[in-house]
Amino acid sequence: MNILVTGGIGYIGSHTVVELMNRGYNPIIIDNLVNSDIEVVDRIEKITGKRPVFEKVEMCNMDELRNFFTKYLQIDAVIHFAALLAVNESVEKPLLYYHNNLVSTLNLLQCMQDFNIKDIVFSSSCTVYGEPDILPVDEFAPIKPAMSPYGNTKKICEDILTDTTKVTEIRSILLRYFNPIGAHETALIGEFQDGVPHHLIPYITETASGKREKLRIFGNDYNTPDGTCLRDYIHVVDIAIAHIAAIERLKISNENKIEVFNLGTGIGYSVLDMVNAFENATGIKINYEIVARRPGDVEAVYADTRLANKELNWKAERTLEEMMRSAWEWEKMLGKGK
Ligand code: UFG
């Protein structure tokens, strides 16, 4: 099966491409190289022994995208990762975020309709739940007003897909990721950092490597067991594997036009739990200080994963220790400039 993977050399995209290839699928990657490195194609080849097809395509340019589909007529399904994803940047540049994330998705769906491609898996986020009223949060929980333009683009794309699936032959699975972390066991692919990391784990690994002086923990006065926020951290390879389960489900199920699944482990860990887990996995002490809360942070969010476990026949399997070890191996690899 030929699977179009948009954003396929990004963090989650590249891990998904590897898992697809490991299972005999034929991924076709498009990426505009705005937030990604073409060298990842070589690294995927190193891991899998086979070079994936790659085309540089700007999805917001309909002519470019249409040309791509004209060239590759045999696409069986699409996994749509391509998006801008820095929450802070989206607050500063809302037009850039709305334009990029929405126009690319609209163009993609138009092409899928025109070229008669029916199945799409979409990267969504637990950000659509905001601060959930009930934990663990399940897929039927109310969608809350978005905390950022980035979060709003995920919500709007979910709406676009919901409305489109109602009146076209397109079928979709929306995967709501919790907090993907870690890297491939080979340390050849992972999350590249451009400047100061926004996310917790790269901040921890950069503090461990000496690149950052200390981790700042944003608030310890939340209503949680140790006062720091709770999140559902999940290994990126587990997230990647869920996409294959979603593709397989789309190919066998006829009646469901759109489905939504949470991708998490179901466990809420605090920021301090994560610091301890890193220290235990690597033996390296993390220098940290508690500072004020970060505006826009939710107190606690972790997934009810039962629906994904049952319907996708998928379960996150990698441990917190594996997440931390792989994140650290990746950081060391980055430090070597490889
Ligand atoms: N944190 C720190 N110090 C840091 C970085 C993070 O204490 O330097 C804390 C945060 O306050 C939060 C936790 O670590 O409590 C996790 O923060 P991340 O930035 O790693 O992840 P978020 O849960 O904030 O972000 C996730 C997704 C986003 C999504 C967002 C909104 O990564 O894509 O949830 O729900 F938009």
The predicted-structure confidence for 194-203, as pLDDT tens digits, reads as follows 889 989 999 9
Residue 142 CA to its chain's centroid (Å): 21
- Which pLDDT score is estimated for 10? 97
**Nearest ligand 1 atom, CA 87:** 36
The answer to whether residue 304 is domain-embedded is: no
Please indicate whether residue 144, judged by its CB atom, sits closer than 6 Å to ligand 1.
no
Please indicate whether residue 243, judged by its CB atom, sits closer than 6 Å to ligand 1.
no
pTM (two decimals): 0.97
Q: How confident is the model at residue 338 (pLDDT cuts 50, 70, 90)?
A: low
The answer to whether residue 284 is domain-embedded is: no
The answer to whether residue 152 is domain-embedded is: yes
The answer to whether residue 221 is domain-embedded is: no
Q: How many residues in total does the chain contain?
A: 338
Mean pLDDT of 162-189: 97
User: What is the C-alpha to C-alpha distance for residues 129 and 277, in angstroms, rounded to an integer?
Assistant: 27
The answer to whether residue 310 is domain-embedded is: no
Assign residue 180 a region: left if phi > 0, alpha if psi is -120 to 50, beta otherwise?
beta
Q: How many domains does the chain have?
A: 1
Q: Give residue 67 CA to ligand 1 midpoint distance, Å.
A: 38
Name 248's Cβ contacts closer than 8 Å, sequence gap at least 6: none
Mean pLDDT of 33-53: 97
Q: How confident is the model at residue 233 (pLDDT cuts 50, 70, 90)?
A: very high
The answer to whether residue 300 is domain-embedded is: no
Please indicate whether residue 200, judged by its CB atom, sits closer than 6 Å to ligand 1.
yes
CA atoms lying within 13 Å on the CB side of residue 203: 16
- The angle that helices 200-208 and 320-335 make with each other, rounded to 10 degrees, is 60
Quick check: 204 pLDDT over 80?
yes
Pocket test for ligand 1, best of 84, 207, 216, 294 (most atoms within 8 A of CB): 294
Name 324's Cβ contacts closer than 8 Å, sequence gap at least 6: 182, 201, 277, 278, 280, 281, 282
Domain that holds residue 96: 2-182+233-264
What percent of the chain lies above the pLDDT cut of 70? 99
Q: What is the CATH number of the domain that holds 126?
A: 3.40.50.720
The answer to whether residue 44 is domain-embedded is: yes
Q: How confident is the model at residue 22 (pLDDT cuts 50, 70, 90)?
A: very high
Computed over every residue of the chain, the mean pLDDT equals: 97
Name 38's Cβ contacts closer than 8 Å, sequence gap at least 6: 9, 54, 56
The answer to whether residue 36 is domain-embedded is: yes
